[in-house]
Structures are given as C-alpha cells and as structure tokens.
Structure 1
Amino acid sequence: MSILDVTLEKLAVEIPGATEILYRFKLDYKQHHSLPLRDAITEYRADKQSVIEEFERLEIRGKIRPDFSQYSEKDLVLYIVTHYHNVHRKQLPELIRLASTVEKEWGHDPLCPVGLSQCIRNILEDTLAHMDKEEKTLFPMIIQSNWDMAANCMAIFQFEHGEHVRSLKKLQRSAHNFQLPTNACSHWKALYMGLQAFITTMRDHIHLEDTTLFARMPDYLSLSSRS
C-alpha cells in the first residue's frame, strides 16, 4: 500500500514523527481522520511531492544503522547531528504541542497526564543546551583529534547523559507509563507513540556517543574504568 492511501489518523497514531509533518502542511488529522493522505493533500492544496519526501525521510531514519567502524570521526559526528540532534529538535516541540492539546482537552480525565507538557519543556531545554555544547566544543575537538582537550569534556557530557536517562524515566512516569483510556483521541494516541519513539531515539543516541564516538579516544576504556 502506498503512503498516499493511508488515512491521516493511521499515519498520526502509528508513525513516529508523522504528526509534525501533518501539522506543518496543515493536514488536519483530527477533523478528517478517515481521509487518505492522497485526498487530504488535494483537499488542503498541499505540495504532494514535498509531503511524500518528508515521509520518505522518516522511513530512511528508521532503517538499521550502518557499520560505524567504517566511519571517520567527522562522518560519525555528522551522523549523530543529522540522525539524532536535528531529529530531537523536531520531536520535542511537536510533543509539547500534542501534550498541551491533550491537557487542555482531557484535563477532566483521571488518566490525563497533567504537567506532562512542562516536563517535556524541561527536557527540551536541557537537551538543546547539551547538544549545542557538543556541537560547539566537544565535536570539533574530536574531529580534529584533539583528544587531550576532548578528554576533559567527556566526563561532563557522560554525566549529563546519565541525567538525561533519569529524565526519560521521569517522563514515562509523568505519562502514566503510556496508559491510554479506551476513548483516547488521535492526539493522545499520537502523543504517547511519539514519546515512546523519542525515548527510544534518545537512548540510542546516548548509547552511540558513549560506546562508539567517545570510544574513539585513545585509552578511553582504561580512563572509563578509573572514573
């Protein structure tokens, strides 16, 4: 089945990242949930090729990661920025939007994750600050093989990685372990699917940096064992 034949609701609740694309192209998946993407593009006069290309990028993002042993430090850094940093910069604002909508519309429900949007905002702030520091300080050092200076920074970034993992656990608790009511709307379903996708992506991101990128530093293992 072509992506164009899938309904807006199915895209929103089953494909991580789809809601951000639908929202950006003003394809209202709540009002026209049963409308196939092809018809929605026509109805809302969206650019068909641009929409298809955005969904193709999502598909490529979800494929198995390459063999990083063949990557240079520069290529590995570029992969991290492209597949994780830039993705988080899109994921989190969209999750805040969805969480705010759910809190506003479902605040009366016992399962409503009241306060979740603020929890995500806090994660966004911490994540952006962390990624900006990596891109402006640590990554250039690694690319230039300036390992002495990089070693002084790695302990700080690894500590922050641990803080991020703790934040992810708090995020899951704030979302009631993603327990949905039987009458949950498409926004709520998309929110919890998106949160789970974000947590998976963030954990993969941290794991890649800690076990692959940082391991490029000479004597990294011996240094890690002493820390």
Structure 2
Amino acid sequence: MNPTLLERPGLAQPDASKHNLLEQSLGQLACDIPGASRVFHEFNLDFCCGGQKTLRDAALGKGLDPVQIAEALHLLQDSAARQHDWRDEPSEQLIAHILTRYHARHREQLPELIRLACRVEQVHGARNTCPNGLADHLRDMQQELEGHMLKEEQVLFPMLQQGLGRRAAPPIHVLRLEHEQHGEALEKLLVLTDHITPPADACNTWRALYRGLSEFRDDLMQHIHLENNVLFVNALNA
C-alpha cells in the first residue's frame, strides 16, 4: 500500500496534541484558538464556508502539510491571549454584534471598493496586471450580499430573537447555501487580483484598493464563520 501524505519523507509526524488538532474542524479551531483565522488565511484554508472539514482533510485537499499547520496552531494555543468566545453568549448579543460589526461595515466597504476598482481599471486597464472586471465583480457581490443580509435582518434574526431556533432550519439552510456562493465569489476575487497582491509599481490608488479588499475578505470570512459555526449551530441545537 502506498504511504499516505503524512507518511511521506519530508513531512513531520504529529505528536498526540497536534494529532488532536488535525481531527478537529476548521470552524471549531477558529472558535477555540485565538489567531487561528489568521493562520488559515495564510494557508488559504476556508474556515467559514468550509468550516466543517477537519484540518487534516482541508490541508490535504490543498496539497499542504497538515502537521505544519497544526504546529502553528499549537503555538497559538500556548501564547495567544483569549479571544471573545461568542458560543457562550446569548444569540441576541451575537446578532447585535454581527449587525454592527459586519452588516454595517460591508455596506460601507463595498461602495468605496467599487469606486477604487473603477479608477484602477480606467487608468491602468491596458496593463496585463490590471484586475479588469473587478469593479463588475464587486458590484455583483454587493448585490448578492445586500439581498443576503436583508434576509437575515428581516426573516432569520427576528426568528432567533423570538427563540424559534429549530423552526429556523429552512432559512438557515438557504443562508448556508448563499454563504457558499459568497465563498466562491471570494475565490474569484483572489484570481482577479493575484491573491490581492499589487504589482511592485502599483500606484497609491491601486494599493489602497488592495488593502481594502484584504480587509473586506477577512471581515466577510469572519462574518460567515460566526454565523455558520456559532449562530446557526446554537440555534439548531437549542
């Protein structure tokens, strides 16, 4: 039998503590370990829409060494300060946080990002490094995200605030599917922007655009993570 990836030469073998991390889901690790989401961003692992995958499966699916990632998380367990654990809070408080920290913020971010993308494409569209099509893609994301957030604000969140968690299963199913679509849109954004990496000679507008895109991506992934892996789970298990 051929050796598994973990058994191949050059890949470290896990000790017991790291092995335990390998078998936990990305969503669980993002909840448990302060700074885990930063590690997942570094390795381009989807802890929000793909949060149900184990660390081992997610890493192997990307051709990465899962033990290397587990080691980085293991160090965070020992050194990072405690983060706010929303799993311990009432759904009303988490919903309030999502509305102010993410819904309101996305509504501020996207119009400015679209403006900057239009400017970059207008001025630098002839360059092969220009993210042509980015402005239109961001407009599509804005439209889809606005419709999604309105469903949450007008349908799901009122149900959860009334204690109707289990009866909210149908809208939660729809919103999870839409989260997957948001994840696919983020993947396309990375393709258009060379993983949000500006060329060495990029102008200030181009760099400001990519800084904003990086912040938006991080915010949207954390937003989806809190809903998929905390809010929805708590509601269905109530």
- TM-score scaled by length of structure 1: 0.66
Identity of aligned residues (%): 38
Number of equivalenced pairs: 158
After TM superposition, give the deviation of residue 215 of structure 1 in Å. 1.5
- State how far apart, in whole Å, the 1-side matches of 2:213 and 2:223 are: 15
After TM superposition, give the deviation of residue 197 of structure 1 in Å. 1.1
2:169·2:236 contact (CA, 8 Å) conserved in 1? Answer: no
Amino acid at match of 1:145: G
- State how far apart, in whole Å, the 1-side matches of 2:157 and 2:83 are: 20
SS in 2 for 1:214: helix
SS in 1 for 2:169: helix
Question: Which residue of the other structure, out of 150, 160, 169, is the alignment partner of 1:142?
Answer: 160
SS in 2 for 1:157: helix
Q: What residue is the counterpart of 2:98 in the other structure?
A: 80
Unpaired stretches in structure 2, ≥5 consecutive residues: 1-81
Q: Deviations over 1:73-115 (max 9, x none)?
A: 1111000011111110011111000000101111122111111
2:121·2:131 contact (CA, 8 Å) conserved in 1? Answer: yes
Amino acid at match of 1:173: V
- State how far apart, in whole Å, the 2-side matches of 1:185 and 1:176 are: 16
- Off by >4 Å, runs of 4+ in structure 1: none
Q: Deviations over 1:177-208 (max 9, x none)?
A: 22323221111001111111111111111010
Q: What residue is the counterpart of 1:169 in the other structure?
A: 187
2:129·2:199 contact (CA, 8 Å) conserved in 1? Answer: yes
Kindly tell me: are residues 180 and 147 of structure 1, through their superposed partners in 2, closer, same or farther at Cα, counting changes over 3 Å? closer
Question: Which residue of the other structure, out of 89, 100, 109, is the alignment partner of 1:71?
Answer: 89
- State how far apart, in whole Å, the 2-side matches of 1:218 and 1:177 are: 35
Report the aligned-residue RMSD: 1.8
- TM-score scaled by length of structure 2: 0.63
Q: How does 1:136-215 map to 2 (within 5 A)?
A: 136-215=154-233
Q: What residue is the counterpart of 2:10 in the other structure?
A: none
- The answer to whether the aligner puts 1:101 opposite 2:84 as a matched pair is no
- State how far apart, in whole Å, the 2-side matches of 1:120 and 1:105 are: 18
Amino acid at match of 1:101: R
Q: Deviations over 1:8-67 (max 9, x none)?
A: xxxxxxxxxxxxxxxxxxxxxxxxxxxxxxxxxxxxxxxxxxxxxxxxxxxxxxxx8523
- State how far apart, in whole Å, the 2-side matches of 1:71 and 1:219 are: 14
Kindly tell me: are residues 67 and 145 of structure 1, through their superposed partners in 2, closer, same or farther at Cα, counting changes over 3 Å? same
2:121·2:132 contact (CA, 8 Å) conserved in 1? Answer: yes
Amino acid at match of 1:121: R
Q: Deviations over 1:141-192 (max 9, x none)?
A: 0011112431121111111111110110001111132232322111100111
SS in 2 for 1:183: coil
Question: Which residue of the other structure, out of 128, 140, 147, is the alignment partner of 1:110?
Answer: 128
Q: What residue is the counterpart of 2:235 in the other structure?
A: 217
After TM superposition, give the deviation of residue 138 of structure 1 in Å. 0.2
Kindly tell me: are residues 218 and 104 of structure 1, through their superposed partners in 2, closer, same or farther at Cα, counting changes over 3 Å? closer
Kindly tell me: are residues 148 and 182 of structure 1, through their superposed partners in 2, closer, same or farther at Cα, counting changes over 3 Å? closer
1:111·1:179 contact (CA, 8 Å) conserved in 2? Answer: no
Unpaired stretches in structure 1, ≥5 consecutive residues: 1-63, 221-227
